[in-house]
Amino acid sequence: MAAARKRTLSGFEDVIDGKTKTFKESGEKIHIAALILARGGSKGIPLKNIKVLAGVPLIGWVLRAAVDSKQFDSVWVSTDHDDIEKVAKAWGAQVHRRSPEVSKDSSSSLDTIQEFTRLNPEMNVICHIQATSPCLHPFHLKEALELITKQGFTSVFAVARQHHFRWQEVKKGGSVATKPLNIDPSNRPRRQDWDGELCENGSFYIHTKATIEEGLQGGKWAYYEMLPEYSVDIDVDIDWPVAEQRVLRFGYFGLDKPEVVRLLLCNISGCLTDGRVLISISGEEMISVNTRDTTGIRMLQREGVEVILISSSEDLTKALADKLSQRTGCEVRQLGKDIQGEAKAMMDDRDLDWKEVAYMGNDAPDVDCLNLAGLSAVPRDAPVVAINAAKYCCRNVAGLGAVREFSEHILLLKKKAKSQMEQDRIHRNTF
């Protein structure tokens, strides 16, 4: 019996006595890359790809899912804009600076993807993830990729099931009657009696290199069905508030479990206050604290989260620190230059780990703590270096509700996690 094996991008082909049989990759290493296209010239929403959605730059949601999926040999953002490049790198991606030829309004996704594969010939499979799909989870990517790596498909795309009755469009002024496209009007089905239709939801498209060279979605096709609640696509500003509510409920918030947060370390200057110190004619120093922020602190305290307000000795006199402690019911700590070391000492006193700590900072000295904390945030007006290190960027500025907003975010995630834990308990008891 004559036998030979040749490798293809969709798997192996074993030729036995002239007959071809297709096999899985059988463990041989291939390079799988995630690619997010993020041009700076969005016409619908300027710099949409890095606009903050529920505290995270829009592109950050899909980058977090891609990186945490651990399915990719490399994760890339293709862009022509410096600010998008900075955000992409802060969220763990490598950057492909696309050429002017594929950065025009008329340029297609295919043009950019083909340029990327030409410049990176070692990549066998490209997963094109849409930046405008913030409810993507790592398990979606893992399961979809297995259709290529384990089942030999060459093109996989995400779909969602819709139950919409469609009718033929009639142009204005036309005299032709419309007609149904997918129903019999005399026998309209109930929703529960109709499976609906599968429609692309735009979350991701996965292709082997060969199908990209041929023009995408070629060869052996397969779809990956996502539940409707995960199918969010943002094109215009009116989508933003709807998407934000959906993301807070169904988005992916990372590998860390925020429900264990037991301590919030919050900077006074530049977070709880706007950073200004008012000096009276007699030399008395004053600061302004918003009641929305103090209410947020009390909300956390009622839920068992300890709040410690931190400040440098230069920012706050002892008299002001004592008054603020009395007003908020929080311990006020005046720290030196080693903020991370002193924060760690406070955690050790309470037998806490970084994953159990939320941190709110506002500038370069806070970057290490922002990176280490299980949850971290900055006000909207914080410098870029702090924004890139934080896991949440508030819509509100310092001294005007940013602390209240972050407090609500912490409590929302705790509530979401508690609900999931209860659901897991129900599932375990059921089976």
Q: Which residues are catalytic?
A: 188
HSE on the CB side for 338, CA within 13 Å? Answer: 5
Helices (H) and strands (E) in the chain, counts: 12, 20
Tokens found for residue 16: 């036995």
Give all strands (DSSP E) within 209-287, no chain letters. Answer: 221-226, 263-267, 278-279, 285-286
Tokens found for residue 291: 């009641």
Distance (Å, whole) CA 396 – CA 394: 5
Sheet holding 94-97, edge to edge: 94-97, 74-79, 32-37, 125-129, 197-208, 155-162, 221-226
Instruction: Give which of 207, 257, 206, 249 is closest to 227, Cα–Cα.
Output: 249
The answer to whether 377 and 392 have CB atoms below 8 angstroms apart is: yes
Bridge partners (DSSP) listed for residue 159: 200, 225
Phi, then psi, of 132 in degrees rounded to 5: -90, 20
Query: Which helix (H) or strand (E) covers residue 13, if one does?
Result: strand 11-16
CB crowding 246-270: b at 16 or more within 10 Å, else e: bbbebbbbbeebbbebbbbbbbbbb
- The residue with tokens 């929703």 is 191
In angstroms, what CA-CA distances link 196 with 35, 94, 161, 183, 188?
31, 39, 6, 11, 12
Q: What is the dihedral of CA 43, 130, 53, 393, to 10 degrees?
A: -110
- Collapsing DSSP to helix, strand or coil, 230 comes out as helix
